[in-house]
Amino acid sequence: MNNPVVFDACTIVNLARIDENEFLEDQVKALRTNAAELVINEVKAHYVPSDKNSTRQLHFAPYWGGLLMWDDGDIEHHTGCLRDFINYKKKPNGELYSAALSLFLSRAEHEKVLFYTDDHPAKLDFAPYFDFQQIGYIGDSVDLLILLYWLSPEGKFSIDELKKYLTALRGEYMIMLNGLQEALNDYAATLTSSKKERNRKFKIEGLANDLKGCMALGDVVKKCVKLFENDSSAKGKIIMQSLDRIKNTPEIVDKINVTVRNIDHHGIYR
């Protein structure tokens, strides 16, 4: 496949964390991978190996998969085009510059571009402009893993390995969900006195159990936000902070669950 590929920081970090013996990195090197300078800097600032004993050196991670880095100045004009079309008010970030790089490459290379980001709100923000300008496709790490699977030579990347990496990716996101679940249970443990408190305790414990079940997580998180958005207590604020950190988690965990079930029933056609 010869189409340009653009990676956002979260995609680089997630795949670098779940990679084993540079297996995925070798698959990615077969693609024409690109990243904006701001994305590389975000990875340098935030990448932490999940295994403390990992032999992977920190400075290797930002250029994982042999990425070609583009200076932010090269695509500054294109960020303005995006901002103007979708009335984008957020400060400069990796998602914006990745989308702008996708626009730049689509015109420079006269090819559709594949842009991968695990930031679900960013996908929703930029999809209208991608459609209008026919830039290409916005996917996430789940989509990328499936692409790498069917692009790989027969016998190089098995369906069991694909499911293993999808499960590992889900595990990275579940770490954040587990933290929210613990915070909910900790809060519920303080509610024991009045009938009103006991009713609230019942609701909170129910949400914690729903998180543990890992089904319809988007709905569960929305219910959590509604329950705690006006809670000014210290524990309530901690839960709202946790909810803000996992803004991308429900969609991708739900997607992984559905994808694995579909693989079991239908497979991936090669």
Residues 137 and 215 in one domain: no
Residue 267 lies in a domain: no
Q: Which residue has the higher pLDDT, 102 or 175?
A: 102
Residues 115 and 37 in one domain: yes
- Domain holding 81, by residue range, is 4-157
Residues 128 and 109 in one domain: yes
With beta carbons less than 8 A apart as the criterion, state whether 166 and 142 touch.
Answer: yes
pTM above 0.85, yes or no: no
Average pLDDT over residues 161-186: 89
Question: What's the confidence (pLDDT) of residue 50?
Answer: 54
3-class secondary-structure state, position 211 = helix
- The last residue of one of the domains, among 131, 157, 183, is 157
Question: What's the confidence (pLDDT) of residue 54?
Answer: 54
Average pLDDT over residues 228-255: 84
Residues 33 and 134 in one domain: yes
- The last residue of one of the domains, among 137, 157, 177, is 157
Residue 258 lies in a domain: no
Task: Give the count of domains, the chain.
Answer: 2
Task: Please write the tens of the pLDDT for every residue from 8-42.
Answer: 999 998 898 899 888 999 999 999 999 999 999 99
Report whether pLDDT(55) > 70: no
Longest Cα–Cα distance in the chain: 67
Residue 266 lies in a domain: no
Residues 130 and 209 in one domain: no
Residues 123 and 182 in one domain: no
Residue 131 lies in a domain: yes
Write down the residue that tokens 């990425």 correspond to.
67
Residues 19 and 118 in one domain: yes
The per-residue pLDDT of the chain, averaged, comes to 89
Residue 36 lies in a domain: yes
Question: What's the confidence (pLDDT) of residue 49?
Answer: 58
Residues 134 and 178 in one domain: no
Report whether pLDDT(254) > 60: yes
Residues 36 and 137 in one domain: yes
Report whether pLDDT(58) > 70: no
Q: How confident is the model at residue 75 (pLDDT cuts 50, 70, 90)?
A: very high
Question: What's the confidence (pLDDT) of residue 196?
Answer: 81
- The last residue of one of the domains, among 122, 157, 192, is 157
The gap from C-alpha 232 to its chain's centroid, in whole angstroms, comes to: 29
Average pLDDT over residues 188-217: 82
Average pLDDT over residues 210-220: 75
The CATH number that applies at residue 118 is 3.40.50.1010
Question: What's the confidence (pLDDT) of residue 215?
Answer: 63
Question: What's the confidence (pLDDT) of residue 40?
Answer: 93
Q: How confident is the model at residue 159 (pLDDT cuts 50, 70, 90)?
A: very high
Q: Is 12 exposed, middle or buried (CB count within 10 Å of its CB: 0-12, 13-18, 19+)?
A: buried
Residue 75 lies in a domain: yes
Residues 165 and 140 in one domain: no
Residue 269 lies in a domain: no
Percent of the chain with pLDDT over 90: 54
Residues 246 and 166 in one domain: yes
Q: How confident is the model at residue 135 (pLDDT cuts 50, 70, 90)?
A: very high
Report whether pLDDT(238) > 90: no
3-class secondary-structure state, position 70 = strand
Report whether pLDDT(127) > 60: yes
Residues 114 and 214 in one domain: no
Residue 261 lies in a domain: no
In this structure, what are the phi and psi dihedrals at residue 33, rounded to the nearest 5 degrees? -90, 140
